[in-house]
Structure 1
């Protein structure tokens, strides 16, 4: 068994429109290095069950105060087509979203953590995809093993300075939490 497997197995599933949420997911995985085995998957490639995972970390961009919907993903596609916005749409960004994927899932790992990317303003005004994910995963029977996290983007959907470093640090915190639970098995 690898050292990572002894420290648990984590799957990070993310949805990303313009790359910020993907970059955060990758930074979280970097922060978990040396801890659990980590797999990072875009939502379009995520399976419906995770028989070998101890925990799942899910993340999505905040759209209209919560998770994306087909209409908000189509709007993101229009933003990507607008040359004045200078945005590059992620491959398959207009495909399945986190909400639809969760609707199709079977049994999820017993532990989860949720994150989002959202506008750099108070959550009261921006909303939070992580809050919606937290609620849905708890309703599905998973237990939160770490407080949810929001990573901030500017008005052009670019990550604010320091957010990748915060994501790596949060990943380190997640690794410790999963490792302590895996060690207790």
Structure 2
């Protein structure tokens, strides 16, 4: 089984979640973790499932303006933030709008502020809707991983690993039924 994890990350939190998911799935699948700016049709070719994750900006997926704002925030030395490579380039929103050929199955996740979801929104909801429109089938409900002061909350990587394992097990089950 082949799973591709596509992520967008500003300050490294979403990348860390993607890596934790991949680590948990490595015994069940061949897993690739790919920045959205490096995804190509060849990377997705022959994948059985895709997991897509992004940070939540202004209640949804990032936009060029919100990525520029994040870059500006990182340029302030008092913030103590490091902008991820290619963070200001294409985001998951634009990638999904390009209508990529995606595998039959998917799961979506996001990182967001540790406040009630009604206040923060969740990028994973938009990812979920877009992937359904592209014809993929949801393996598990979307998940949010929480950030406080631009850092992952304690135990979020462990939660991500557990969620990732559920995704891989659901993919295994779906693929077994499809054969």
Cα offset, 1:102, TM superposition: 1.2
Q: Equivalent residue for 1:94?
A: 88
Matched residues, number: 177
Q: Equivalent residue for 1:36?
A: 29
Q: Equivalent residue for 1:70?
A: 64
In angstroms, what is the RMSD of aligned CA positions? Answer: 1.1
Q: Tell me if structure 2 keeps the 8 A contact 1:118–1:150.
A: yes
Query: TM-score, normalising length from structure 1?
Result: 0.93
Q: Equivalent residue for 1:27?
A: 20
Q: Equivalent residue for 2:130?
A: 136
Query: TM-score, normalising length from structure 2?
Result: 0.96
1:168 maps to 2:161 = yes
Deviations 1:146-180, CA, capped at 9 Å, x for gaps: 110000000x2100001000001111111111112
Q: Equivalent residue for 2:77?
A: 83
Q: Identify unmatched segments of 5+ residues in structure 2.
A: none
Q: Distance in 2 between matches of 1:144 and 1:117?
A: 19
Q: Identify unmatched segments of 5+ residues in structure 1.
A: 1-7
Q: Tell me if structure 1 keeps the 8 A contact 2:99–2:134.
A: no
